[in-house]
Amino acid sequence: MAILVYTENWDGAFKKVSFELISFASKLAEVMGDTVTALSIGQVPENELSRLGNYGAHKILKVESEDLTVVDNQVYTKIIAEAASKEDAKVVLLAHNNVGKALAPRIAVRLKAGIGSGLTGLPENLDPFITSKKIFSGKAGSAIEIKTPVKVLTLSQNSFEVTENKLDSKIETFVPEAPTKGVTSRLNMEKQSGKIILTDADVVVSAGRGMKSPDNWGPIEELADLLGAATACSRPVSDEGWRPHNEHTGQTGKIIAPNLYFAFGISGAIQHLAGVSSSKCIVAVNTDPDAPIFEAADYGIVGDAMKVLPELISAIRQVKS
């Protein structure tokens, strides 16, 4: 028996979340008495594949084919489900990101498995299998029982620490019976080069309507560059077209959980807080001392973001140098 982990790569390098997944699976395998099999799809160099062994993968299956550069949900589902059957996997684990959310439900139906999505930690109990997840976009938590022998789980990003557990793992080529060519066709791809991915970022610098104009985003971007952070925004700002939709964090936008979240000129509507409340540390800067953001924040400054930002940037520059 095994825990099968789909480890996602980007241009041949594994995403940070893939190591979080292996670390999670390794701990789960320990209590379940199972082993961990990582499944990599696409072209990943051997030395990168072997890194999965550093965090507790016993076996690494690689599926390589030119066709698989593009994620076709049907094709990927069949390959992952086939690998799960071959490994006699009782748990199939994916990231709770766009790819995981697309594949996990399909895999669950294919394997007649119950699904636990967006988990934030190890299961509370193994038999019955009870796991916990946040609901109402973080406004509440819940315990869910998954009643099927095979379980499909998705793990929230940045919720499980990457832990070293070096194993002498072996890499095997897996040739699935399922066809590698799907029916969807990709016409075009746009990479946001040089930008830190919002859902992957350890630090996020976010701003709202308190910035008064889209022309005032300079210092936000400067601070983000300085900290190696991603930029984000509140809903009104993306609705106004001041910032792109993919920066909107909140209940109906992106749900994020960075280590450090800066909110400049964001009042903190309940929907915004729902998307960021899992952040480990929240810093709020707002002119209104009664803004609800201060209830969610760890540190706050009542003041004008446009005045605070340059001072903050120079203070950080000072400690960095």
Partner 1 sequence: MKILVCLGHVPDTTTKVKFVENSTKFDQTGVQWVINPWDELALTRALEIKEDTGNPVNSVTVITVGDISVEPTIRKALAIGADNGIRIDMQPADSGVVAAQIAEVIKSDPYDLILCGIESSDYNGAAVGGMLAEHLDYPSVSAVSSIKYEGDTLELNREFDGGFETFTCPTPFVAVVQKGITKEPRIPAMRGIMMARKKPLAVVNPINSEVLTEFLKFTLPEAKPPCKMVDPENVGELVNLLRNEAKVL
Task: Report DSSP state, residue 109.
Answer: H
Task: State the number of CA atoms in the 13 A half-sphere of 95 facing the CB.
Answer: 25
Q: What angle do CA 21, 27, 33 make, to 5 degrees?
A: 120
Residues numbered 32-51 forming contacts with partner 1, rule: CB under 8 A: none
The smaller minimum CB distance to partner 1, of residues 167 and 304, is found at: 304
CB of 59 to partner 1, least distance (A): 26
CA distance 298 to 296: 7
List the one residue out of 146, 144, 150 whose CA is nearest residue 111.
150
CB of 58 to partner 1, least distance (A): 27
The smaller minimum CB distance to partner 1, of residues 60 and 119, is found at: 119
The H or E element spanning position 263 is strand 260-264
CB of 315 to partner 1, least distance (A): 5
CA distance 43 to 69: 8
Which residues are registered as beta bridge partners of 7? Answer: 40
Q: Which residues of 168-183 are buried (b: 16+ CB within 10 A; e: fewer)?
A: ebebeebebeeebebe
CB of 94 to partner 1, least distance (A): 11
Residues numbered 240-269 forming contacts with partner 1, rule: CB under 8 A: 245-246, 248, 251-253, 259-260
The smaller minimum CB distance to partner 1, of residues 167 and 200, is found at: 200
CB of 32 to partner 1, least distance (A): 19
Residues numbered 221-240 forming contacts with partner 1, rule: CB under 8 A: 227, 238-239
Q: Write the binding mask 171 to 190 for partner 1: x where contact by CB under 8 A, - elsewhere.
A: -----------xxxxxxxxx
The smaller minimum CB distance to partner 1, of residues 147 and 166, is found at: 147
Asked if residue 253 lies in contact with residue 272, where contact means CB atoms within 8 angstroms, the answer is no
Question: Does residue 147 belong to the site contacting partner 1 (CB under 8 A)?
Answer: yes
Count the site residues for partner 1 by CB under 8 A. Answer: 99
The smaller minimum CB distance to partner 1, of residues 26 and 156, is found at: 156
The smaller minimum CB distance to partner 1, of residues 154 and 169, is found at: 154
CA distance 39 to 283: 38
Binding-site member from 30, 66, 88, 192 for partner 1 (CB under 8 A): 192
Q: Write the binding mask 102 to 141 for partner 1: x where contact by CB under 8 A, - elsewhere.
A: xxxxxxxxx--xxxxxx-----------x--xxxxxxxxx
Asked if residue 154 lies in contact with residue 116, where contact means CB atoms within 8 angstroms, the answer is yes
Asked if residue 44 lies in contact with residue 8, where contact means CB atoms within 8 angstroms, the answer is no
Binding-site member from 25, 49, 83, 308 for partner 1 (CB under 8 A): 308
Q: Write the binding mask 54 to 93 for partner 1: x where contact by CB under 8 A, - elsewhere.
A: ----------------xxxxx--x----------------
The separation between the first and the last C-alpha atoms of the chain, rounded to the nearest angstrom, is 52
The smaller minimum CB distance to partner 1, of residues 23 and 199, is found at: 199
Asked if residue 115 lies in contact with residue 105, where contact means CB atoms within 8 angstroms, the answer is yes
Residues in CB range of 178: below 8 A, 6 or more apart: 75, 78, 79, 82
Binding-site member from 218, 228, 280, 288 for partner 1 (CB under 8 A): 280
Question: Does residue 159 belong to the site contacting partner 1 (CB under 8 A)?
Answer: no
Which tokens sit at 250? Answer: 């909140």
CB of 168 to partner 1, least distance (A): 31
